[in-house]
Structure 1
């Protein structure tokens, strides 16, 4: 036999293949993890901004109503201003890209709490329904069958055929 044959490398052959596969898999997983992480971050960021936009629009609408009625000294107006102040503190850029000491989950909880307090002071039911999230309550039965595989959605307002009269009895606010 030749003296160039290394028996030790033959014994560790399985471990060598395992180590090479691990390195390749780790590099591949890192790339896909970054791609999936960015996609998830974009999706969750959009959901957060959609919710914040709802709160800000709600507060601005009630602020305009209170201002028009001349009720700037009312408790509800004070809650509106506090909610708008909290929303203005929310970062508009990615805080991980720059040094930031903003606790985003804490600030988001404070905004939600202030929104609920505002709704309670206005006598309005606090709710936020995202546009693509199905309602938890079952859809109303309108007599039409839903094809198999298609999910039924709850109607906000029923669309009437031409010539039919619309009544305000069916509306839900």
Structure 2
């Protein structure tokens, strides 16, 4: 049997086991939390991206439909409405669809919403997006 000059060396692995297991457990938990956070973040981003896309698509379809209705009308109010409609379409066309990390996304989305509200005011129609999505018949699929 070998003689150990320092008696604590023999028991260090046992004494330090609690600390080692704590550090290892923390590291494993941190890595798992990072993986889960990434998955949840992506899912959250997809969900909100889809909602935002649906909203912008609705505004675009709304504007294009009204533009078609107003193009052949020559009265002064119709011209003003058409100009506002074309402005809304222009704002939507410049919307940054391809850049998921666009820093001014919220500002641009508020600009689209404000332009939509302006157009709705000129047309004297409701600005509640959910009302249009639900539909006037109350049918669901």
TM-score for the superposition, normalised by structure 1: 0.66
SS of residue matched to 2:90? helix
Equivalent residue for 1:69, pick from 59, 73, 86? 73
Q: 1:59: Cα distance to partner?
A: 0.6
Greater relative contact order structure (CA < 8 Å, 6+ sep)? 2
The aligned runs of 1:19-168 (5 Å cut-off) are 19-71=23-75, 74-96=79-101, 103-129=104-130, 156=138
Instruction: Name the CA distance, whole Å, in 2 between partners of 1:59 and 1:30.
Output: 43
Question: Which residue in 2 is equivalent to 1:147?
Answer: none
> 2:59 touches 2:116 (CA, 8 Å); kept in 1?
yes
Higher helix share goes to which structure? 2
Instruction: Name the CA distance, whole Å, in 1 between partners of 2:99 and 2:58.
Output: 21
1:132 and 1:71, CA in 2 relative to 1: closer, same or farther beyond 3 A? closer
SS of residue matched to 2:127? coil
TM-score for the superposition, normalised by structure 2: 0.79
Structure 1: runs of 5+ lacking an equivalent: 134-153, 158-173
1:155 and 1:14, CA in 2 relative to 1: closer, same or farther beyond 3 A? farther
1:44 and 1:53, CA in 2 relative to 1: closer, same or farther beyond 3 A? same
The CA RMSD over aligned residues, in Å, is: 2.9
Aligned pair count? Answer: 133
